[in-house]
Each structure stands twice: as C-alpha cells, then as structure tokens.
Amino acid sequence: MENITLKEIIESTNGKLLTPDIPEDTIVRRVISDNRKAQAGDLFIAIVGEKMDGHKFVNPALNAGAVGAIVSKEPEEMLPGKFYVLVPDTLLAVGDLASYYRMQFQIPVIAVTGSVGKTTMKDMIASVLSEKYKVVATEGNYNNNIGVPRTLFRIDRDTEVAVVEMGMNHEGEIRYLTHMAHPTMAVITNIGDAHIGNLGSRENIFKAKCEIFEGLSLGGLAVMNADDEYLVKLKDDENLMSDYKFKWVGEDEDADFGAMSIDDTIQDGLEFTMIVRRTRSGIDERDTIKVPARGRHMIYPVLTATAIAKKLDMSYEEIIAGIKHYKPTAMRMETWKLGNGIIIYNDTYNANPQSMKAGLHTLANTDATKRIAVLGDMLELGDLEEDLHRSVGKKAAELSIDTLITIGKRARYIADEARRGGLTDITSYDDAESAKDQLNDLLTDGAVLYFKASHAMALEKLAQFCKDNA
C-alpha cells in the first residue's frame, strides 16, 4: 500500500475528525481491522460484526503503534497523539476509502464473479498474467465487503494488474463491490444454484451476478461463458453489447476462445485443443493446451485467462508458461498423491450442486482400484434443498462411483437417490467423526477419495485424517 493522509481519509469517508489537534497531513501506511497485527503507521478500522465489536480493540491497536482509527462510536477515552475519525458505519467507510484508493492507480482491474469456480478462475488469471506483469490478486477467497478492500489496499506503485474476486449471497452485494473496485474487465464464470435459498431462483442469481457491469468502465472487456444458458442471454442486450467488448469462451462452436478434443482422463491434468476464432489475420488459431489440474471444467479458467492475456498483449509463450505454473488455492480440488497409489482430492472449501457434480466427473475419470466419494451437506439451497441434493446422488449413480459416503442430514438425500440409481455400497453418517473407521479401512492400494461439502461441514478435517493415515 502507498501512503495516504488523514485528510484523504476524512474526505473519502465523509468522516468527522474528533481530534482536531492532529495535523491532516498525518501519514497512514496501512489499513487493518485486526488489532493483533497493528504496527507503526497503521489505520485501525473498528468493524462491528455479529459476534465482535471492533471498538473494543481501538486503543489496543493504537497502543501497538497504529496512528489512528475510524470509529462509529465516540470513544470514552482518546489517546493523546492519535486521531479518531467518526463515521456512521465503519464497514461502509472502509469501502469508501478503498474505492478512493483504487482510483489513484490507472491500472487494469479484473473483477471475477460467478456461482462456481471464482477462486479457481482468479488463480488461473493471476498465474498467467504474472508471467509478464506484477499482479495483486485476492488472497484465498476474501471476496466480500471486507475482503475486496483488503485486496485493493495491497495495490502499490509497482502493481501493474489487479485481479479481484467478488462473492455474494444477496442481491446488491456485487453492485456495491463493483462500484468499489471500478473494474476495467469483468468475468462471470457461470450461473448456478449457489445461494439459491437466499435469492429464490437462478434468474435472480443471474441478475445479481450481472450487477458487475454497473461498475465496469465503458468499453471494458467482458469475458463470459458461452456454454451457460443464462449468460448467453446477454447477447440479446443491445446496450451491454454496445457498451462493452465481449469475448465468449467455452465448447460452443462459435466461442471466441473455444475448446475441443478435451481429454480429462489424463492423471496429472487436462489436455485440449484451444481454438482462437476471429483473429486479426482472419485465420483460426489452434494449439494444444496442457493444464496441471484435473477436471473438464478447467477449460474455462484457461480460456478466460488467455482472452485477458491477449487483451494485455501477452505472447503465446507467456500464456503457456502461466498455465503451466498454475497452483490451486488450498481445498479447491487440491490433489494429494500418497503412498501405494492412493490419491485424495480435497475439494472441501465449499460446495454447490454444479461443483459437486464436476468433482464426481473428475473422480470417475481417475484410474483407481476403487473410487470413493465422501459428500456432505450443501447449504443455502432453500426450498430446492432436497431436489438439488438428489440430483447429485443421481449423478453419482450415473458415473458408477464405487463407494459413496455421506455426511449430514441433507446429504442423506444424495445417498437415497444414488441407491435408487443402482449404487449399493453406500453409507450415511450424521457427522464426520463417525465415518473415520470406515474410511480408514478403505485406504487401500490404488484407492481414490473425493471429499466435498459446504464449508460449515468442516470436511477438510476428515480429508486430512485420511491423508495422515494412508
């Protein structure tokens, strides 16, 4: 982060300075909301959450070296030599400050949203662009109204590109984040069922994801999934089509960046032929692409990263190198190859029906003596909860998964439907701890295990147990 002044903080947040004796040219070197990380020159934001009120930690942060704080409550005691800026809402204030700060840098900012695969998409784009540019990208999946400012504040004078992941579970959240980040390019991975319990329908999810265009700079690049039944509707929106430069990616035969001859049976990754259509020369370009990650769905981040890299004048050699160097974020189809040929796919960070089915496809295409799926509850699916869990069970049966273990009350619907589809080796548990004995017995030579559930199920602990005991 580059230095900002107290004056800039007051003006960007429309705050009231409670300590007028502190000069407005006071320098802030970093913005934090965790007092345990406070250092000299920091600005502490007193975030008020459901379980914690940051105002309790204002003075501890200041005593640790922070030069000032943004608060929404007047403190009973103000430390000498420190500044306090009063605002109505500290969370909105940090967003206002982040928006102001981002606009001090005239760099490409790529916003990424979608129902499934946001973090994988962000990671692939960052990996490719890093071959040529200094890139700041969202760490992990800090993609909400606290995480996006955190990413923007990491931009400095050396940053050449920023890749910002944006998540949501309610209408209006992407609108807020896109106006904060002021993207010059936008990516929507797909429209699925994630958070359908909050938004009511996939149509509403589609509308909420499309809020990203409201902050996209006029003439900016929009890279969309050509195989998504909702996103292709954007082609009928004449205003969007004229305001932004669209590039379409996917298996669709008319996609600008297409994929064919996809081989997802390769044990160390994925291979396909990439077709770049409508090139300046008028001739379609075809290249064989090897991706160091499993799953047919990986064509989308590769094609999207390529489209963006081409826009930013990267060479084919740089793009291929960036794809080769891609590494997934932990718990996102993380692959552990253990002794005796055992493989564990730790895909436990979160789950929705689309991503769980994609993972089952990868499991089914992995050479193994036994293919074992360990699936837990998927949350925030509302009234469609039973049907969507059953759709996963149907897919598991279609793919002839050898052994299915379900964890949680909702996941029993997966088991029921898989059993109806013909699978017989199925066991259901109420909690992960109860599954350990069976899993320990299943850790035999050549077995492949796939773990997937919503984050609250903490299934990563069960995956780690298997890794430790294999």
**What is the per-residue pLDDT across 75-99, written as a single tens digit (0 to 9) for each?**
999 999 999 999 999 999 999 999 9
The reported pLDDT for the residue numbered 140 is 83
Closest among 279, 276, 291, 288 to 322, alpha carbons compared = 291
Question: Where in the chain are the domains?
Answer: 4-89, 105-324, 334-469
How many Cβ atoms from other residues are within 10 Å of residue 52's Cβ?
10
Structure tokens at 4: 């900002």
Q: What fold does the segment set 334-469 form as a domain?
A: Protein-Tyrosine Phosphatase; Chain A (3.90.190)
The reported pLDDT for the residue numbered 174 is 98
The reported pLDDT for the residue numbered 418 is 98
The reported pLDDT for the residue numbered 249 is 99
Q: pLDDT tens, 399-424?
A: 999 999 999 999 999 999 999 999 99
pLDDT band of residue 141 (cuts 50, 70, 90) is confident
Average pLDDT, the chain: 96
Q: Give the CATH number of domain 105-324; options: 3.30.360.10, 3.40.50.12780, 3.40.1190.10, 3.40.50.300.
A: 3.40.1190.10
116 is known to lie in a ligand binding site? yes
Averaged pLDDT, 305-329: 97
The reported pLDDT for the residue numbered 56 is 95
27: buried, middle or exposed (CB in 10 Å: 19+, 13-18, 0-12)?
A: exposed
CA quadruple 404, 406, 412, 413: dihedral, nearest 10? -60
Q: pLDDT tens, 152-191?
A: 999 999 999 999 999 998 999 999 999 999 999 999 999 9
The reported pLDDT for the residue numbered 266 is 87
40: buried, middle or exposed (CB in 10 Å: 19+, 13-18, 0-12)?
A: exposed
pLDDT band of residue 360 (cuts 50, 70, 90) is very high
User: Sign (positive/negative) of CA torsion 412, 416, 421, 426?
Assistant: positive
258 is known to lie in a ligand binding site? no
Q: pLDDT tens, 34-90?
A: 999 999 999 999 999 888 999 999 999 999 999 999 999 999 999 999 999 999 999
pLDDT band of residue 278 (cuts 50, 70, 90) is confident
CA angle 72, 155, 126 (to 5 degrees): 125
Query: What is the dotted CATH code of the domain comprising 4-89?
Result: 3.40.1390.10
321: buried, middle or exposed (CB in 10 Å: 19+, 13-18, 0-12)?
A: middle
The reported pLDDT for the residue numbered 216 is 99
The reported pLDDT for the residue numbered 88 is 98
Query: In angstroms, how far is CA 80 from the centroid of its own chain?
Result: 42
Total residues found in the chain within this entry: 470
pLDDT band of residue 283 (cuts 50, 70, 90) is confident
Q: pLDDT tens, 337-352?
A: 998 999 999 999 999 9
Closest among 372, 371, 389 to 380, alpha carbons compared = 389
Residue 79 phi/psi, 5° resolution? -75, 140
pLDDT band of residue 328 (cuts 50, 70, 90) is confident
Identify the residue with better confidence: 428 or 195. Answer: 428
114 is known to lie in a ligand binding site? yes
Angle between helices 118-129 and 299-311 (to 10 degrees): 40
115 is known to lie in a ligand binding site? yes
